[in-house]
Structure 1
Amino acid sequence: MRKLGIPTVQDRTAQMVIREELEQIVDKQFSKDSFGYRPNKSAHQAIKQCRENCMKMDWVIDLDIKSFFDEIDHDLMLKALGHFTKEKHIHLYVARWLKAPIQKKDGSIHSRDKGTPQGGVISPLLANIFLHVVFDKWIENNHPEVKFERYADDIIIHCDNFKQALRTLEAVKARFKQCKLQIKDGKSNIVYCKRNQKKHPPFKVHYVTFDFLGFTFKPRMVKGYFGNFHLGFTPSISRKRQKRINQTLFKMKLHRMVHLRLPDLAGIIAEKVRGWINYYGKVRMSELHYVFRFLNMRLAKWVRNKYRRFRRKHWFFAYKWLQETAKHYPNLFVHWQYGFMP
């Protein structure tokens, strides 16, 4: 679990000022393959580039850094900062924020020599600075034959063949160890990007899918420009994220809000649903049916609790009532507007 840092109002204001000043200095020096927490960069751009690279290169290293934000060494962090700026006031402020002691639940105060507390305004920028020196610049200089995408501490590396992937993974492990970071062995895998039904590697492959920024990349049949189907290696919302969204909907307990009308429920969930569609619906929106089928079932449960005539009947009758309502008011819920009808 990451340590949560709650800065004071004064510290938060100072962090915002320093972040804006520092961002002007460092962002233009960052790699084009770094997408996280940067102006004019987005997760969707990272996903698009990852998809394009998966179509060009057969192998992927799915890197998982162990407790990254908790393990950043302060001395190395300040050294990395020195690659970008020598401004004393920036170094003084950053050192102060990094080394601020932590108060635990029992009231005891503990000093720190590593980690950037989650919650700090400047923490994402510091993480980008650290990994630019530790990973981005290093791999561009030492392994120019590979390609990569990085979003904060989520890293995907693309290789042409399995031997190259093995060599690169071992080199990255050694580099991270040198910089006091660890790779999770059980979760950092070499993945085969199967996109040709006739092409097979000369050995059994254990991993043929990987997750990146909430999307699962795996072999799927895709429609070509001329209407023909072929095997591709494409992303869609991951099962893990689907389950997380369903848990969010479950915890909202919509079925108990019987004092509200159906349009009121639509208003309560509209912002969340629109956010999910805008993020996960960019690629293979149809895969969201699992999420919105669950939401429609929750709404049917609300109908059953709201109206007495459905309480002793099978849930199917409440669902059928919801279907009729959706036919008459197809724009009532955001997900109905996108075709995810009950």
Structure 2
Amino acid sequence: MNTGDLWPDPDGAWLRVRRMQTKLHQWAVGDPDRRFDDLYNLVHHPDFLTVAWERVRGNKGARTAGVDRVIPAFIAADADIVAFLKNTREQLKARTFTPLPVRERMIPKPGSGGKLRRLGIPTAMDRLVQAALVLVLEPIFEASFKPVSYGFRPERRAHDAIAEVHHFGTKGYHWVLDADIEACFDNIAHSALLERMRRRVGDKRVLALVKAFLKAGIMSADGETRDTNTGTPQGGIASPLLANIALSALDEHFCAKWDAHGNGGRRTAHRRRGGATYRIVRYADDFLIMVCGARAHADALWEEVTAVLAPLGLRLSVAKTWVCHIDEGLDFLGFHIQRRRKKGTSEHYVYTYPSKKALASITGKVRAMTNKRGQRTLADLLRQLNSAVRGWCYYFRFGSSTATFHYLDDFCWRRVTLWLRKQHPGIDWRTLRRRYLTGEPGWRPAEDGIMLFVPQRVKVTRYRWRGYSIPTPWARAATV
């Protein structure tokens, strides 16, 4: 790749980076045992740094500073950006770059009833270098990742994982180990992670850079810095990829068991002899192992999974890991998955619904928004509320969500009309309706052209399982 004297424009840099990523991916697919050298020069290449910066600046965390107090979104002038990128490149080339500790920040854990989770916010320069590392490493490791994992991978989403659970739930995989790894991101053994990286990466400079990030430490709110001997802090751009590299050990173990039984006929014969077949479905550190067999086969998975996780420095949470039957139902990625008898028939089907916890989460947000009093207008409230409810409904539209959407519609309407009556004490219903509600059926609250979002109008459909046909972006680029 040409380095040139002029700093590249983002569009041209993106095209050149995509071409190089496609080559890396094709080489990795073509030779599963290949270890890549000379990757470090790509990490500090102007094209990769330019594309990495666009990702950092466009990230939702771009308005948050690390210990350097530099906010990426506020580096606005082109001259300042180029100077920042050139400085980063020179430090990387000279091998003088040293990651700083991440800034610890506690944020609410969604759907946990007020519990907090720890984020580690890197500095602006550290985020840039991590993003460049991901651009280089992701195409290589994607060639090795198994199709049963879906979290933080390109072209994949949570709905693919739910669709796979639904698919195998209809194929006799009724016993499920619903597993939870105890503090996964905090406890991954650095030595085990780096050992798994060495299978694909032969460039010691890249491995040393990854290790430096892992060992950078954490600075708490009171300014105290503590070492990080294990784990990859949540909040870092590279953390999801590194966690997937480590946890792919689980995927490999259970995919090997799946492949050992060959095709469907051989798997059926194995089960007739008293055996069982297993299918793991993983989204980051959240995973299920589905069993076509007996309860005893599912119970035995505890020890098996424990043995796979132990070398990674990880263990199952005893309190949150359990074995269940799909007829009992289980929650996964916000959905409740359960096999039930279809009304009016004797047939049983697997259904996916928004879970009670997910519904409680969105109604809690709506309640919090409509509890606030003050000077804001109805339009301001609707703008904020619609954004939250619309995103929630679009996520859950792939499932049996019609009844839930009707309930949420009614709940939002009641909360907003109650808010209006509190904002205007003494107002009678006729005046409120004339002033703030539209004349269409349902009398929707509206102001300044903004109307309360209607959840029950969201079209509900089935998200089809894509099986092994999910392409990587680089495989698609190679065919264009």
TM-score of the superposed pair, with normalisation by structure 1: 0.84
For residues 144-168 of structure 1, the C-alpha deviation after alignment (integer angstroms, 9 at most, x for no partner) is: 5311210001101111121221222
Residue 186 of structure 1: aligned partner: 319
Q: CA deviation at 1:281?
A: 1.9
Question: Who is 1:45 aligned against?
Answer: 160
Secondary structure of the corresponding residue to residue 283 of structure 1 = coil
Q: In the aligned structure 2, how far is the partner of 1:255 from the partner of 1:310?
A: 19
**C-alpha deviations, 1:199-231, integer Å up to 9, x for none?**
xxxxxxxxx2211001111233447xxx95733
What SS does the aligned partner of 1:69 have?
A: helix
* 1:100 aligns with one of 213, 216, 240: 216
Q: How does 1:162-181 map to 2 (within 5 A)?
A: 162-181=295-314
Q: State yes or no: 1:10 paired with 2:125.
A: yes
Residue 300 (structure 1) aligns with: 417
- Helix, strand or coil at the partner of 2:288: strand
> Please, what is the CA RMSD of the aligned residues?
2.9
Distance 1:264 1:7 in 2: 33
Residue 123 of structure 1 pairs with residue 255 of structure 2: no
CA–CA distance in structure 1, aligned partners of residues 339 and 347 of structure 2: 10
- What SS does the aligned partner of 1:4 have? strand
Identity over aligned pairs, percent: 29
Shift of 1:285: 2.1
Q: How does 1:31-180 map to 2 (within 5 A)?
A: 31-56=146-171, 57-133=173-249, 135-142=250-257, 144=259, 145-160=277-292, 161-180=294-313
Aligned to 1:205: none
Contact 1:303 1:310 in 2 (8 A): no
Q: Deviations over 1:19-60 (max 9, x none)?
A: 011001111211111101111111011101111111111211
Contact 2:408 2:455 (8 Å CA) reproduced: no
Contact (CA 8 Å) 2:362, 2:389: kept in 1 or not? no
Give the distance between the partners of 1:320 and 1:217, measured in 2 at CA.
Answer: 43
- Higher gyration radius (CA): 2
Alignment of 1:139-288 (within 5 A): 139-142=254-257, 144=259, 145-160=277-292, 161-194=294-327, 208-222=328-342, 228=345, 230-253=347-370, 256=373, 259-261=376-378, 263-286=379-402, 287-288=404-405
Counterpart CA distance in 2 for 1:97 and 1:270 is 39
Preserved CA contact (<8 Å) 2:151 2:283: yes
- Indicate the SS of the match to 2:451: coil
Partners of 1:46 and 1:151 within 8 A in 2: yes
Distance change >3 Å, CA 325–CA 303, structure 1 → 2: farther
**Residue identity matched to 2:451:** L
> 8 Å contact 2:161–2:283 — kept in the other structure?
yes
Preserved CA contact (<8 Å) 1:258 1:302 = no
Tell me by how many angstroms 1:240 deviates.
0.9
Q: Distance in 1 between matches of 2:279 and 2:325?
A: 15
CA separation in 2, counterparts of 1:90 and 1:254?
51
Matched, 1:332 2:420: no
> What SS does the aligned partner of 1:183 have?
coil
CA distance in structure 2 between the partners assigned to 1:321 and 1:13 by the alignment: 51
Alpha-carbon distance between aligned partners in 2 of 1:277 and 1:176, rounded to the nearest angstrom: 36
What is the Cα deviation at residue 90 of structure 1?
Answer: 2.0
Q: Could you list the runs of 5+ residues in structure 1 that have no partner in the other structure?
A: 195-207
Task: For 2:228 and 2:135, locate their aligned partners in 1 and report how far apart those are by CA, in whole Å.
Answer: 25
Report the Cα offset of residue 86 of structure 1: 1.7
Q: Which residue in 2 is equivalent to 1:289?
A: 406
